[in-house]
């Protein structure tokens, strides 16, 4: 008898383990990773098989030792799919569930095809099985057969003659013939029986042109890879480090720490080439693939049809087709956003995470995983290699490279073309305002913009818009009200007109004038891209420059990112205005000016990573200028010109930034010196949320004291910075533990036992990326 361990597709913390079911002998297609239909209580449920084993049906003790009551053992009723994942995928789902305190089924779903899984639907009193909404699409193709040469149709067989004439130029889809000639099914059947035509069924990939359907192999045979440039010394050393890690097959991590334009992508391409030559596959993660079509083009140019692409702007059908190509082994390289990490790549040998510092690698719903850490677990389990790349690696990654023997750092200090990094000018907007200049564009930036356009070149303007304009700013001197004990900005609350610290609860009234200089210009901070665009058009009036705006509004449609970038590339003199999405992955030879409209929006947010994000963003966007023969320049507008993060970024001096930032992190107890968990509590009723948060805080304090001792700390429950979001009230409880502690093992039992509430939701964010 076979036993199966089944994870039920029911999203609740209480189902914290797999359930054992018997597999009837006639279900020969049951395998690890397949979806099955099983009885559960008084209903049916869908589950996923994560383990199978043979036991002696005659030996009752074989069940007892496995904790199974033979009387209560139920059987799998149906197998609903082929395998979606293997044993290592099942192990990864368990790891995610325990490490990030998430429902098991939410973790398993990461490994299933988009839209391609069955589900149970509740209709009144009953549960109904709904088949997958998405599946493969097959086209019928027709071509001339061996008997076509001597075939002479009857004079009355007009359709037969028309079909043979149409196919004389080449094969066609049956659908195309039908569009031209009407119903042709019976005629084709007759011709096929006479071997005049041959009918074939071929897989069609959604998102490709009609002429490409079914020609995957033909294109692969005629594919000519793009030329390989000569490697710089830095690139060669990076490749040596990656090759050595791959030869060790011990799950090593290699950080490629390279300035923008240093040729990190070429290092990735060469490493993948070596991986493919050894018969293994590779996964490449980028922050959001739809923002960087140039990156996809480079991978496709080198590896052709063996590259699959997965990103959020694709339809479910397109993503299913790409997922299936990977599962079948036809695609050996995956390029995609963070979810591509869980695609069913056979024989995975290499994972690459480009721009590893990016916050988009942190999942914001269960399971709230960090892609870098999950990838490190995966390569350790598979004996593969993880490559991290960034011009501004995260502080945690740099820390691990210093502390762990299997984390290696390789520095690419110069651009691949030998050109210098562009000079960065910091413009003090407080002085501009004080001298009577009221425009959001400083005099220097305005002059530089006009010079760039008159020279027929391009400029990129970044509006640093992350955040929600929730702090006060004095436009005279740059003063921002701060908490006296937490070294963070106070959050402005419209209700009651008060300033509040969301770390310790300190409150104070909004001052009528600036406490530093007495200026009445103390206002909420922020400006939208539409307002900036209008003023930019006014500044450039008469120059004929094209202004291309990229933000959430202009890029909402499918393919909008690529269309806007192509519009910018094809224009002569032009300005690309956008939010953070333009700070990475753009490579235009004629961009000679980069301007940061406001470098401060993130800097004073009440979050411990605000300075790091500001430093990274300025360095990243600065790298968009002067990437080819034309020299570049960068202008950063700020009200805090003496900020260490801004000064360090302007001089490309990471050591200066870390010297200022790390002591603060150590003193205040933030990563990389501690591990954290942020317990989120939210609901529609404010008093219920507060009550639940305070009760849970007491439970966590008691559990932590009993299980971990006094080295850990639990901060009291407090409203989140975004205390009300989408109609719900939000509180949180922060847990801090010494670096290297297993936070999950202490908190997991508490949350597994906790009874769910119908009105108040609770989630645990282990290793949070922000505290907002």
In the chain (772 residues long), the average pLDDT of successive 10-residue segments reads: 93 81 93 96 93 83 80 92 95 96 94 90 85 83 90 87 87 84 88 92 70 42 81 96 97 96 94 97 85 77 92 85 92 94 96 95 94 98 97 97 97 91 93 86 94 93 59 84 73 71 76 91 64 85 89 75 85 88 75 90 81 92 84 92 94 96 95 96 95 97 94 93 79 95 95 90 94 80
For 246-290, the DSSP string reads HHHTS--EEEEEE-TTS-HHHHHHHHHHHHHHTT-EEEEE-S-GG
- H-helix or E-strand containing 198? strand 197-204
Other Cβ atoms within 10 Å of 664 Cβ, number: 12
What is the distance, to the nearest Å, from the Cα of residue 135 to the centroid of all Cα atoms in its chain? 24
DSSP letter string over 411-443? EE-S-TT-PPPPEEEEEEHHHHHHTT--SSS-H
Report phi then psi at 720, rounded to 5. -65, 165
Crossing angle, helix 233-248 and helix 264-277, to 10 degrees?
A: 40
Tell me if 351 sits within 8 A of 386, measured CB to CB: yes
Evaluate whether 338 touches 361 at the Cβ level (below 8 Å).
yes
Phi-psi region of 30 (alpha: psi -120 to 50; beta: other; left: phi over 0): beta
CA 63 to centroid of chain Cα atoms: 43
| 3 state SS of 63 | helix
Neighbouring C-beta atoms of residue 153, cutoff 10 Å: 17
What confidence score (pLDDT) does residue 761 get?
Answer: 95
Q: Enumerate the β-bridge partners of residue 737.
A: 675
Distance spanning both ends of the chain, measured CA to CA: 52
HEC assignment per residue over 351-391: EEEECCCCHHHECCCCCCCEHHHHHHHHHHHHCCEEEEEEC
Q: Retrieve residue 319's tokens.
A: 């993503």
Which residues fall within 8 angstroms of residue 709, CB to CB, at 6 or more apart? Answer: none
Q: What is the DSSP secondary structure assignment for residue 15, as one 8-state letter?
A: -
What residue ranges define each of the domains in the chain, with the CATH number in brackets? 2-130 (3.40.1440.60), 137-222 (no CATH), 233-412 (3.40.50.300), 423-469+527-664 (3.40.50.300), 471-525 (no CATH), 674-766 (3.30.70.600)
How many angstroms separate the CA atoms of 3 and 25, rounded?
11
- The total of other beta-carbon atoms located within 10 Å of residue 404's CB is 12
Q: Cα–Cα distances in Å, from 115 out to 96, 318, 629? A: 21, 10, 47
Q: Is the backbone peptide bond immediately before 328 cis, with ω within 30 degrees of 0?
A: no
Closest CA to 585 of 226, 231, 293: 293
Judge whether 510 and 497 are in contact, CB under 8 Å. Answer: yes
φ and ψ at residue 488, rounded to 5 degrees: -145, 155
Q: How far is residue 408's CA from residue 723's CA, in Å, rounded to a whole number? A: 41
């Amino acid at each position: 008898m076979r036993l199966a361990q089944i994870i039920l597709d029911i999203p609740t913390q209480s189902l914290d383990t797999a359930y054992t079911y018997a597999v009837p002998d006639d279900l020969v297609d049951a395998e690890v990773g397949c979806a099955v239909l099983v009885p559960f209580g008084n209903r049916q449920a869908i589950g996923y098989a994560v383990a199978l084993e043979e036991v002696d049906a005659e030996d009752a003790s074989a069940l007892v030792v496995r904790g199974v009551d033979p009387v209560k053992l139920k059987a799998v009723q149906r197998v609903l799919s082929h395998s979606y994942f293997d044993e290592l995928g099942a192990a990864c789902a368990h790891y995610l569930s325990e490490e990030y305190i998430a429902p098991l089924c939410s973790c398993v779903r990461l490994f299933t095809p988009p839209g391609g899984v069955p589900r149970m639907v509740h209709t009144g009193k009953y549960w109904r099985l709904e088949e997958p909404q998405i599946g493969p699409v097959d086209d019928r193709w027709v071509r001339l057969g061996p008997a076509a040469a001597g075939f002479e149709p009857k004079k009355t067989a007009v359709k037969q003659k028309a079909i043979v004439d149409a196919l004389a130029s080449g094969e066609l889809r049956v659908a195309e013939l039908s569009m031209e000639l009407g119903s042709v099914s019976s005629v084709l059947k007759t011709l096929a029986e006479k071997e005049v035509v041959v009918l074939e069924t071929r897989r069609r990939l959604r998102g490709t042109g009609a002429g490409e359907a079914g020609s995957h192999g033909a294109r692969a045979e005629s594919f000519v890879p793009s030329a390989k440039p000569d490697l710089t010394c830095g690139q060669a050393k990076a490749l040596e480090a990656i090759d050595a890690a791959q030869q060790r097959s011990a799950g090593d991590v290699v950080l490629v720490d390279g300035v923008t334009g240093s040729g990190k992508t070429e290092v990735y391409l060469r490493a993948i080439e070596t991986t493919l030559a050894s018969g293994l596959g590779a996964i490449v993660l980028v922050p959001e693939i739809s923002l960087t079509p140039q990156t996809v083009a480079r991978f496709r140019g080198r590896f052709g049809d063996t590259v699959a692409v997965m990103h959020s702007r694709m339809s479910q059908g397109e993503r299913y087709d790409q997922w299936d190509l990977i599962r079948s082994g036809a695609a050996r390289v995956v390029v995609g956003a963070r979810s591509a990490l869980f695609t069913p790549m056979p024989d995975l040998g290499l994972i690459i995470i480009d721009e590893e510092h990016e916050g988009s690698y942190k999942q914001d719903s269960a399971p709230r995983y960090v892609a870098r850490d999950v990838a490190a677990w995966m390569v350790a389990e598979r004996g593969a290699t993880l490559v991290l790349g960034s011009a501004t690696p995260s502080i945690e990654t740099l820390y691990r490279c210093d502390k762990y023997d299997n984390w290696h750092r390789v520095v690419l200090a110069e651009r691949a073309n030998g050109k210098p990094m562009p000079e960065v000018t910091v413009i003090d907007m407080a002085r501009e305002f004080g001298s009577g200049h009221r425009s959001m564009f400083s005099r220097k930036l305005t002059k530089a913009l006009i010079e760039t356009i008159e020279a027929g070149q391009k400029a990129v303007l970044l509006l640093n818009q992350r955040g929600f304009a929730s702090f006060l700013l004095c436009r005279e001197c740059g003063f921002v009200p701060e908490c006296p004990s937490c070294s963070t900005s106070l959050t402005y609350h419209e209700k009651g007109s008060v300033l509040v610290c969301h770390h310790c609860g300190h409150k104070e009234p909004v001052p009528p004038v600036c406490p530093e200089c007495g200026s009445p210009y103390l206002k909420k901070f922020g400006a939208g891209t539409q307002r900036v665009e209008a003023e930019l058009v006014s500044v450039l009036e008469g120059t004929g420059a094209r202004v291309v705006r990229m933000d959430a509004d202009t890029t909402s449609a499918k393919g909008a990112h690529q269309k806007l970038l192509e519009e910018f590339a094809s224009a002569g003199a032009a300005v690309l205005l956008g939010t953070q999405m333009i700070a990475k992955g753009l490579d235009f030879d004629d961009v000679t000016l980069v301007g940061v409209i406001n470098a401060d929006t993130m800097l004073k947010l009440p979050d411990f990573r605000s300075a790091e994000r500001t430093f990274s963003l300025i360095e990243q966007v600065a790298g968009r200028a002067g990437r080819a023969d034309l020299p570049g320049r960068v202008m950063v507008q700020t009200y805090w010109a003496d900020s260490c993060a801004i000064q360090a970024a302007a001089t490309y001096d990471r050591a200066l930034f870390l010297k200022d930032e790390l002591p603060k992190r150590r003193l205040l107890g933030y990563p990389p010196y501690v591990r954290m968990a942020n317990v989120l509590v939210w609901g529609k009723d404010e008093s219920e949320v507060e009550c639940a948060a305070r009760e849970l805080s007491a439970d966590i304090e008691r559990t932590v004291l009993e299980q971990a001792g006094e080295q850990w700390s639990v901060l009291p429950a407090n409203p989140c910075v975004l205390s009300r979001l989408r109609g719900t009230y939000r509180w949180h409880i922060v847990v801090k533990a010494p670096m290297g502690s297993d936070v999950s093992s202490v908190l997991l039992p508490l949350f597994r036992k906790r009874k769910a509430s119908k009105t108040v939701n609770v989630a645990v964010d282990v290793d949070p990326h922000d505290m907002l």
